[in-house]
Structure 1
Amino acid sequence: MGRGSDAAEPGLAEVLGGRGGAVDATVPVVAFVAAFTIADASGWTSPVVWAAGAAVLVGAVVAVFRLARGGRPRAVLFGLLGVAVAALIALYTGRAVDFFLVQIVSNAASALVWAVSIVVRWPLLGLVVGTVLGQRTRWRHDPDLVRGYQRASWVWVGQYLVRLAVFIPLYAADAVVALGIARAVLTWPLVALCVALSWPVLRSALPPGHAGLRNPAARREDAHDA
């Protein structure tokens, strides 16, 4: 079989490319920034309250829409919870820019966790793809796949670092509108770019004749024991 098993590529894109989830995460942010901008420009009392309310309301509408279309309840509810927590932080501090704190912290934590997983040879990309393909951790018995997942996981570390490099200066500058724009631009488009880069990077680690993602090759001692 050819290197990397092209038949596995749609599965990889589906696992990592979740356009629906990325778009859903962006809509409440757009609502928050729009409501804050309108309320602030109009001189309304407590523009942060208006913005937080708009974000939670839109997030709830998105959640109901996704559930009605058969979305996974846990994922939908976690998404709504993230919006609610971000809104509560902004309400607590009274600063609209603090709505983005959850996103900044989550990207920093994600970059660290993904990097550590690579160093300890349990790359998160392998765990995610292996789970979806029903392999559990069989891919760890294939040194080529482990190396491929490690290389491709660095692409995802880079994704989080790019966001932090943009978000942190804008947060420090109290640039609410610019943060909202950056959040939208660096959500689905950046995820799509990572998906596009991950597959060729992973495949480059697989030697000619490798059976691909769906068929991890066992080490010799494993094959002998079987």
Structure 2
Amino acid sequence: MGGIPERDSGQAAPGPDQRVGAEPAPGEPARADSLAELLGGRGGAIDATLPPLAFAAGWLLGGESLWGGVGAALAVGAAVAGVRLFRGDRPRSVLIGLLAVCVAALIAVRTGRAEDFFLIQVLSNAASALAWTVSIVVRWPLLGVLVGAVLGQRTRWRRDRALRRGYGRASWVWTATYLVRLAVFVPLYLSGQVLALVVARVALTWPLVAAALALSWVVLRRSLPAGHPGLRHPVLDDPAAPPR
């Protein structure tokens, strides 16, 4: 998920007689953030589709040459990394994206199978589906962790029952995206459908991210009670109690 969202500086911890961790100023409406604004997503997701597209182009233009595909993917991956650094993306995030392309290329070269360029994508989606599911079950939904980090809240959001419940419900939307990708990627990978894998990678990357951002925001917003001050202002159930 790309771009650096605006971060909230956070609020001081409330006193023992306060229930709201950080209320808007009197008479000032709570800011209506959306997940798309907070997390971004579309730019980074589009960037992630460029190396696979380059791999397919190089593979085809080279007469189904694995080296042609790998070379094109690495060149475009390096170019994307350079552009992301220039526009101010965090170096660690950029390097992780470039490393993923390099590992995918290395796997394909070692096995000699073009479809193995997409193996890391299959495995990462399986791992992500498992991680998001576990996070919901243990009541540390990853959507809340991500948004809390962006807003500088640390774990204060977990002390708001409504927010914690909403993040849990909305996290199922993201879990579903990884399961959908697996349902499409695995049969294509096992049957060696290289071009179909590229099409699926593009179709199930930024469009699916955009849909998940919109749908999870609707689920989260509808999970909050009327009058809730919003994501930036957790209503603390017990300010003195540690997060559960």
Q: TM-score, normalised by structure 2?
A: 0.84
Paired residue type of 1:103: Q
Q: 2:60 aligns to what?
A: 37
Q: Mean Cα displacement is larger for which, 198-207 or 111-120?
A: 198-207
Q: Aligned runs of 1:5-154 on 2, under 5 Å?
A: 7-9=32-34, 12-40=35-63, 47-154=65-172
Higher helix share: 1
Q: Mean Cα displacement is larger for which, 203-212 or 153-162?
A: 203-212
Q: 1:222 aligns to what?
A: 239
CA spacing shift, 1:196–1:224, aligned 2, 3 Å? closer
Report the secondary structure of 1:8's partner residue: coil
Determine the C-alpha separation between the residues in 2 that align with 1:195 and 1:156.
Answer: 9
Kept after mapping to 2: 8 A contact 1:26/1:184? yes
Correspondence for 1:200 among 218, 223, 226: 218
| Deviation >2 Å, runs of 4+ | 14-17, 221-225
Kept after mapping to 2: 8 A contact 1:97/1:174? yes
CA spacing shift, 1:17–1:70, aligned 2, 3 Å? closer
Number of residue pairs the alignment of both structures matches: 214
CA spacing shift, 1:92–1:202, aligned 2, 3 Å? same
Determine the C-alpha separation between the residues in 1 that align with 2:241 and 2:219.
Answer: 30
Determine the C-alpha separation between the residues in 2 that align with 1:29 and 1:224.
Answer: 48
Q: TM-score, normalised by structure 1?
A: 0.91
Determine the C-alpha separation between the residues in 2 that align with 1:202 and 1:118.
Answer: 14
Determine the C-alpha separation between the residues in 1 that align with 2:39 and 2:165.
Answer: 19
Cα drift, residue 6 of structure 1: 5.8
Structure 1 residue runs of 5 or longer lacking an equivalent are 42-46
Report the secondary structure of 1:129's partner residue: helix
Deviations 1:7-60 (A, max 9, x none): 222xx213444111111110010000111112126xxxxx11111111001100
Q: 1:44 aligns to what?
A: none
Structure 2 residue runs of 5 or longer lacking an equivalent are 1-23, 25-29
RMSD of aligned C-alpha atoms?
1.6
Paired residue type of 2:107: I
Kept after mapping to 2: 8 A contact 1:121/1:150? yes
